[in-house]
Structure 1
């Protein structure tokens, strides 16, 4: 029993001693881990620049820092200093200078520098759109539809198509209205349009007029019916109350209800006006929004496409213009929304074959959401419009192309191939640490437009990679950001459909420990001396000012200055030269007020090369330069 107790006590004592030693080691490790200093490189650059020292690298980084933080007055100040130092500065820096000047109201000067930027940069890198081969874009989506002639067309006007719950075709026609239109010569005095219905548009049977109070002495056309078959929105011409003008001066959108097989309860919608036209309604997939064409004030062209919310009480909200992506200075009209919420419409303002062409637009494409011409044979040199398609990729459109029965005819079609997204380009790349080459996950990559406005952003994955679809012909700028790093920005080539853009970010916030090199943190590659001299040159003084700023900002910091040479002289000579230069560097800092107790120096000659360029080795000048370096090692703080 005594042996057992003694053994247990011994084991317990040893265990306690081991635990105490582990805790002591852990405490010392934690203490060592916490013995560090944070250095903000941008703040050091600022202090150096404000002391009157200049270099292209210093001013560029400082100006960029202000620019990316939207401090445009200071950015313009430092870009100006950089331009005076180097009038051939990098093109993208000239662009940022121009943008900064515009932001602070110096528009004339900003425009002048923007012109310089456009001259320096290749056209593909400017913010102007590149030359676009519209013929190639048209060809890309040509031949994807087959056209079917229908038997329902008449010698007059037949256009527009919608289907009801039974699958019957609803369309507008002048075939037998018998009322001659007045004072509208562009329609050749043809009869008024009425709405008709036919079960099979490919049959030889005669269509029938819709029942009820839909058809009047005015024009009725462009109908769309809700999925339950009970409500119809349609276009009707509006009288001008006998004011002496043409009685069909404007168009309006109306709503009707199907009651006992007849359309009645006709409602003049609140969005209508006698001052402008609304026409050609279409319903979104949820039937809570109506799309239509209008020439109301505030649009971009002759007629624009709008959408309006249908509220819970069936009243109408405020119309909203679909914007410049869809609308032009020309005519945009006859919208249609597919089950996938894709918009089809006709336009003579976008590139086309002539007259009105049919276009496709998917608003969910984001930056690539530009209308796509559906090509021939769907489109022709004449007017092509009133496109509707079902989930089976078949549908109808109208056209006044040669070869039809009348002025406008309805055609069937079958889509045989998917639409190619010709406006889309792919940009991909990687964000890494410039010094280590290590990937930087969770970096922000932002796309900005010509006004420096953010359009979209994404985050790099665990390997630092990113990928984004953009508008093919719009020259964006991509900006990469990561916490503790300096932001970088690059121009994309607007002509490339696929482009790789990589970023190597420079670290800005450094956590330094004893033994770390300030030169690495502050980008000091070498304190240059004239040949066989040890006197500090002006360019070396600018680099040393970075070290001085750190030591002034952190008075507890102590450093050892180390100087290295390449191998292109004897060992003894290089050793002596490195000692003289290290000492001269220290004396410079002493003259600037740094206490002698905070500085020491050491010449290492050619004894510690960073590459294989030793005695007897053939190396390039760049390789030798790597070995000619200065180090500022933290010995205490």
Structure 2
């Protein structure tokens, strides 16, 4: 019986093992062929049966990440990074950090970004993060400028990629695309995309929703349109196709291409591929410059820095196109930069998950009139959220526009939102200077240091003051050139610090050291005379430190910090009025009050001693026999500082 039981168990384990192997192969095959929704279901079935390993966690995380299911992706990436004895590509740190933002876990996300930055120090995403770890505060500064609302054209399917065509709004949607498997995209498990248009009426409402012609809408994805101002030419995105049907390459990928169509007798016709398309990479999401001489788009063609970059081609007078030009690392990162839009004033808006944002794809902007020195700006909430936000367009005359998002309160998987821009984004090119001012000898932080930035022509371009910890943050224009910071502080020699701005948006770690202008006192010197201090006065019959006295004592504090080996004795005095013994006790209280104040300002109490002298050392003739004014008596209520070491 025992032997039989063992044989049965072994057989069952073999059957279970074989079943798991088949399930794994099935899931991997689905994943490798970009059939992500079915791959997720297959892997999750394995997990439910108690099976898991590193590759399953990777593929589940990636499949959800690529489908913008960031919350689910975060869960699988968390399991992945928690595995023992595994060496992960740092790209998973990045994806985990991005996914955590969908849960608004920004602190944890930043922690993983620091790990990513350490592991891939040359990655542009890490460098951008390292220079702007305060990105949330910057995003907050740009937030609240838009009023948004969900569009009336949204469906329970995916709706996105709005574009203007005169009084029409053209967009891409997966609605009403059929129910047969041929019309279902296996990556997302949703229907193929078609192009629709709606009329923008006088009240900015969208009406008369209709699909574009069947010459444009095939059994493929169509999306991302742009129209010339005369409405006679359009560019749009479509999947690779064969005889009008969806097709894949040898790797199982259906690439994206940009097509051009002409309006002939009110019909879109003469549909042609652009010459820089390819069957081996994608070219998508066209937009035109204000003068229509340039076409911008997203691609993963050779020369791309990341998953997709923004490129540009010149449209020649004869209708031909130049070689595509990558917009470079100012715009593009090793992640996704996509869905560009150029406004009438030549501002580039684009979606990215490579620049610091709130989560998923965020919308960013850059002034192309100042591409070299400009700053990439996150447009802020409520346009941006912790989910994917993309396909932003704006009419700068009306300050109104549209964008798409898959945020949780939407009607479908992607929804179109209209907005009003109440406050324009500030595109002024700035460079932020950050640094610290210290004492050259003691390395003490120096607050209230006056800082003046002067350009090569001798013009003052920025002014500021260091804070209580010696730190400074100065904002000025980003004009390239050589600059000088002039640092000035009372009791210190004026110092200059030279630097070069090559057009960076931020310059950090500018460390400035100041040298004291005060000579070191000798034993027996009175600091009051040495530093040319006003006397420390007290109110009648009081021992508290007055506000005017605090200003004088700050100079004593500064001196003692500059010369940490100097010890002093605080001597306090009273006027002659009152009992001698009482005055002696009062002066002792005043001396101790002065000592305690210096201690609160960071001076070691072992360097200080205090003694009251009562009325024994008057500075004038105002004794008990002489009638004096209040002002004359006050001259005797004082503290002095004698150097004893």
Calculate the TM-score normalised by the size of structure 2.
0.47
Answer 1 or 2: higher relative contact order, Cα 8 Å, separation at least 6: 1
Give me the TM-score of the superposition, normalised by structure 1: 0.48
Computing the radius of gyration over CA atoms, which structure comes out larger, 1 or 2?
1
